[in-house]
Amino acid sequence: MVTLAIDLGTTNSLVSCWKDGEVHLIPTVFESYLTPSVVGVDDKGAIITGAPAKERLRTHPDHTVAAFKRAMGSDKLFKIGSHILRAEELSSFVLKSLKADAEAWLGTTVTQAIISVPAYFNDLQRKATVAAGRLAGLQVLRLVNEPTAAALAHGLHESESTFVVLDIGGGTFDISIMELFEGIMQIRSSAGDNYLGGEDFVDLIIKSIADKHAIQLEKLTGQQLAGFREVAENLMKTVSTQQSASYQLVVNETIDGVLTRQEFATLSEPLLQRVRQPLERAIRDAGLKKQDLNAVVLAGGASRMPLIRSLAAQLIGLIPTSSQNPDEIICRGVAIQVGLYERDASLEDKVMTDVAPYSLGINVHNEHADKKEYQPLFSPIIERNSPVPVSRSDVYYSMHDNQKSISFNIYQGEQRLAKDNIELGTMSIAIPPKPAGEVKVEIRFTYDINGLLEVDAKVWNTDIHEQLIVQGNSVMSNDEIQARLASLSSLKIHPREQLENTYIMMRGARLYEEALGDIREEIGEKLSFFEAILNRQHHEEIKEAAAAIKAFLDEVEAALKV
């Protein structure tokens, strides 16, 4: 039984496995390790995922969605074509496609996986990820924090060291500090920002160009906006390697311009500030000083930006190591986690311990509060960066004479006022009638190794006892998952065997749109020819033609790149 190791990213997802004592990344049909986290509906109403869907992001923005990971654990609905789907369901399509790739590569069926999530993902988002796994037919054995995974990948072959991992993916930013000693890989602390990632830098570029040329973003069509986004993404990549980059944008009229690295740096300043704060907190929570850190490891695609690299160097005083590909390091780490989970013989003497990145607690009465503006306070029970699994309790007292029950909400966060934290659930316990303050309730929080929380309330010296396994409102319940599984199974999924050819057709269609004149005509001609061959369904012939047109499209793409 193989357990898959999956990095379910905002922009790209990867799958790998642990075999024969080492990590094997599993390639997709398109011979790349990355599967873009994009889902769409093709012209026949079938769901397509990954690279072909990404090609259609530009041409069919209404039928394609990306970056839905940011909506995990929320009630946001996405409309693609005639389907209305939740982020969990969209993620499940990506997972299904990864699963199909893995099954083809391994030659067996797979039903189990370990999936990575941003360390700063809250309880709801974690549960949503597990639900997505179930929708894709995968039992999620364990969730592992992304920076922890990156730290595993970096630390596996190191000995004594204390290093910091900066994980800047498409949509999330995480930091973890890991200490290695005697084969123990101990996460000392984690911090982060759930809403900071590469996509935010792209948004910044879009906004600044729109301001510069007085383009009203609200008035653009979906297709124009998608094109705009693509230009901005390319600009960001170019500006990372060169001093300046020029762009050409077709919005009603053709707009030309140049973005310099200096300009981009000024734009990004507020975002970079948001990197600094969690980093400082992580170092402080670990009880360390900057001098104690031996290395900086970067993970996530956005960490390729020189801005991030230089910021890391400036903040910590160390040049980031680049021994591993930042796109792959997390997935490699997840595969190591699979090995640890399975107690692989080659990892016999290794143990990894992680921490809870958030504080968890309940709301309590504010004694000094003005009665009119009643604001319950947050009372943490498990402090952030406690090693997990952890179980802690605190005692609370009744507030009124003859109070019949004590009700409280469960929160995750660091804010003083309870309402500023994320509410995870509500609980109530009946208490015997007594004068105020004479009933004691012991509330115990148990946080397991997957980051799932169990709350236990007990009235002292009585048998009254309540238990709650926190299940947020915005998370799909078991019944809902079952119901959705049934309705999703009726959805047509684009057959995997044809994916490669579909991808060629879609890529061709996009290039046709971008190109002009003779080249355009040639693309059109070749595509029609290829389509005709596809219809003849002669396997050998198709294979040959596909190779030819692929080479041609590569050439076209290179030519178009300026």
Contact set with another protein (CB under 8 A): 181-184, 341, 349, 351, 353, 387-391, 395, 432, 438, 440, 442, 446, 448-449, 460-462
Task: Compute the Cα dihedral for 285, 289, 295, 298 and give only its sign.
Answer: positive
Cβ of residue 16: shortest distance to another protein, in angstroms? 21
Cβ of residue 442: shortest distance to another protein, in angstroms? 8
Nearer to another protein, 438 or 554 (CB): 438
Amino acid at 495: P
291 beta partners: none
Cβ of residue 348: shortest distance to another protein, in angstroms? 9
Cβ of residue 147: shortest distance to another protein, in angstroms? 18
**In 350-366, which positions are buried (b, 16+ CB within 10 angstroms) versus exposed (e)?**
bebbbbbbbbbbbbbee
Closest CA to 447 of 384, 499, 397, 514: 384
The Cα–Cα gap between 342 and 350 comes to: 12
Q: Of all helices (H) and strands (E), which one includes residue 69? A: none
Task: Count the Cβ atoms, other than its own, within 10 Å of residue 477.
Answer: 11
Nearer to another protein, 308 or 335 (CB): 335
Cβ of residue 182: shortest distance to another protein, in angstroms? 3
Nearer to another protein, 13 or 398 (CB): 398
The Cα–Cα gap between 309 and 319 comes to: 8
Q: Is 253 exposed, middle or buried, given 0-12, 13-18 or 19+ CB atoms closer than 10 A?
A: exposed
CA 527 to chain centre: 36
For residue 561, what are the CA distances in angstroms to 5, 407, 509, 556? 35, 62, 16, 9
Cβ of residue 388: shortest distance to another protein, in angstroms? 7
Cβ of residue 363: shortest distance to another protein, in angstroms? 21
Cβ of residue 404: shortest distance to another protein, in angstroms? 16
Nearer to another protein, 376 or 389 (CB): 389
Nearer to another protein, 272 or 293 (CB): 293
Cβ of residue 368: shortest distance to another protein, in angstroms? 16
Closest CA to 3 of 138, 144, 197: 138
Pairing of strands 139-145, 112-117: parallel
Nearer to another protein, 181 or 195 (CB): 181
Contacts of 561 (CB under 8 A, 6+ apart): none
The Cα–Cα gap between 362 and 410 comes to: 5
Nearer to another protein, 460 or 529 (CB): 460
Amino acid at 65: V
The Cα–Cα gap between 466 and 59 comes to: 54
C-alpha R_g of the chain: 26
Q: Evaluate whether 298 touches 163 at the Cβ level (below 8 Å).
A: no
Nearer to another protein, 438 or 525 (CB): 438
Q: Evaluate whether 406 touches 441 at the Cβ level (below 8 Å).
A: yes
Cβ of residue 432: shortest distance to another protein, in angstroms? 8
Cβ of residue 515: shortest distance to another protein, in angstroms? 55
**In 229-242, which positions are buried (b, 16+ CB within 10 angstroms) versus exposed (e)?**
bebbbbbbebbbee
Cβ of residue 158: shortest distance to another protein, in angstroms? 15
Cβ of residue 87: shortest distance to another protein, in angstroms? 28
Nearer to another protein, 444 or 550 (CB): 444
Nearer to another protein, 319 or 351 (CB): 351
Nearer to another protein, 313 or 449 (CB): 449
Q: What is the SS3 assignment for 467?
A: strand
Pairing of strands 386-388, 295-299: unpaired
Nearer to another protein, 434 or 543 (CB): 434
Nearer to another protein, 74 or 353 (CB): 353
The Cα–Cα gap between 464 and 476 comes to: 30
Joined together, the tokens standing for residue 219 give: 């008035």
Contacts of 162 (CB under 8 A, 6+ apart): 177, 178, 179, 180, 188, 288, 292, 293, 294
Q: Evaluate whether 312 touches 194 at the Cβ level (below 8 Å).
A: no
